Amino acid sequence: MYGTGGGLLARKGHLIANRTQLDMLAERGVYEDLTEALAEGREQQSVLRLLNGAQLQLEAVLQRIATGNPGDARRKLEEIAGLVTQAVALNPDIAVAAILHNQQAMPYGVRHSVDTAVVAQLVALGLKEPEDDIRIMTLAALTMNVGMLGEHDVMQKQAVPLSEHQRQLIRNHPQAGMVLLRQAGINHEGWLSCVLYHHENEDGTGYPGARRGPYVPESAKLIALADRYCARISLRKYRPPMAPNAALRDILLEGKSTLDSLPAAVLIRELGIYPVGTLVKLQNGEVGVVSRKGLNATAPWVTSVVGLRGAPLDPFPQRDTRNDSHAIREVLLAPQPDVEFRLSQVWGGGALP
């Protein structure tokens, strides 16, 4: 383990004696040495590369489905779902942070589907859902918006509110997507029902069928939950993004009406009050990014990036927000023009592009 400045903190095989020593190592910023891994012939896996690869491949297969030339879409989608699953298993913190800090990688429609699959997986794992159910749910999340693929990106870029025609396209896209998937040879009813019902609400105010909670598949509810969270924290031309903690607060309130309250509570438990990737200002004036969950939901670890006088920090220190001087003062919307960092500076080789 090495500190952010490169100094050796603990040799391989060293046993950590107690919690105090563990906290000390964490505060000083630990990571595996990439050069050592390469010297041993081990390839450093990158969550960011897995997710970017999933987005790139998904764009191609969704375009083929949408244009009626699907090829072997089912097999390819299974491979893409496997990439997302591998990324979440490798490092869920980086997978969550990428939702906020990797927004320029691909067109919105494709990126949003992968982001939704990541969050839906985390909630499903928190609920201890069966592995095969999570796989089908992931496939449904990846294909949930194929029924409005081209229009999705147009709406993302426009600076004016949605037109009535666009709103109708949105209301029709679950049914349109299910039809396209059937035409592509995908006949798994669980998968198709998730796509069809991922905009239904607990109180029956959703679409396309105004179904109430008991008549909506559980996996569709998880996709709906993840979809709302990811959409709200994403930058769009026609509306500003919400801060992650504010989006979670809204979802918790909606758990009393339009969303199932149990998955909503699990989402907050899994992400924490300040999800990884959230930009924050600390009580000491530093600006940083939440880099991992802490021992409780309200006190995550933060990697400080900018000092109290506005100058970039080098190296980036780790801050335990349980300490009064490092407590979170406020949440900042990403991106901030004066707060620049590479994901790999915060999360190491697992976040290399």
Task: Read off the CATH number of the domain in which 243 is found.
Answer: 1.10.3210.10
Question: What are the beta bridge partners of residue 236?
Answer: 239
Are residue 119 and residue 249 in the same domain, yes or no?
A: yes
Are residue 202 and residue 290 in the same domain, yes or no?
A: no
Mean pLDDT, range 172-187, rounded to an integer: 98
Are residue 72 and residue 34 in the same domain, yes or no?
A: no
* Domains: count for the chain: 3
Are residue 78 and residue 161 in the same domain, yes or no?
A: yes
Which tens digits make up the pLDDT trace of 335-344? Answer: 888 899 999 9
The residue range of the domain holding 217 is 47-271
- pLDDT of 325 over the 70 cut: yes
Average pLDDT, the chain: 89
Are residue 89 and residue 208 in the same domain, yes or no?
A: yes
Which residue's entry shows tokens 């796989």? Answer: 135
CA angle centred on 92, ends 87 and 95, rounded to 5°: 65
Q: What is the pLDDT of residue 23?
A: 58
Mean pLDDT, range 20-25, rounded to an integer: 56
Q: Cα(first)–Cα(last) distance of the chain, in Å?
A: 22
pLDDT-above-70 percentage for the chain: 88
- pLDDT of 12 over the 80 cut: no
Banded model confidence at residue 48, pLDDT cuts 50, 70, 90: very high
Mean pLDDT, range 299-317, rounded to an integer: 94
- How distant is the alpha carbon of residue 335 from its chain centre? 16
Are residue 186 and residue 206 in the same domain, yes or no?
A: yes
Q: What is the pLDDT of residue 21?
A: 56
Q: What is the pLDDT of residue 6?
A: 39
Q: Are 254 and 247 in contact (CB under 8 A)?
A: no
- pLDDT of 37 over the 90 cut: no
- pLDDT of 38 over the 50 cut: no
Are residue 115 and residue 202 in the same domain, yes or no?
A: yes
Are residue 288 and residue 256 in the same domain, yes or no?
A: no
Q: What is the pLDDT of residue 231?
A: 95
Which tens digits make up the pLDDT trace of 276-290? Answer: 999 999 999 999 999
Are residue 339 and residue 303 in the same domain, yes or no?
A: yes
Are residue 64 and residue 170 in the same domain, yes or no?
A: yes
Are residue 17 and residue 102 in the same domain, yes or no?
A: no
Banded model confidence at residue 161, pLDDT cuts 50, 70, 90: confident
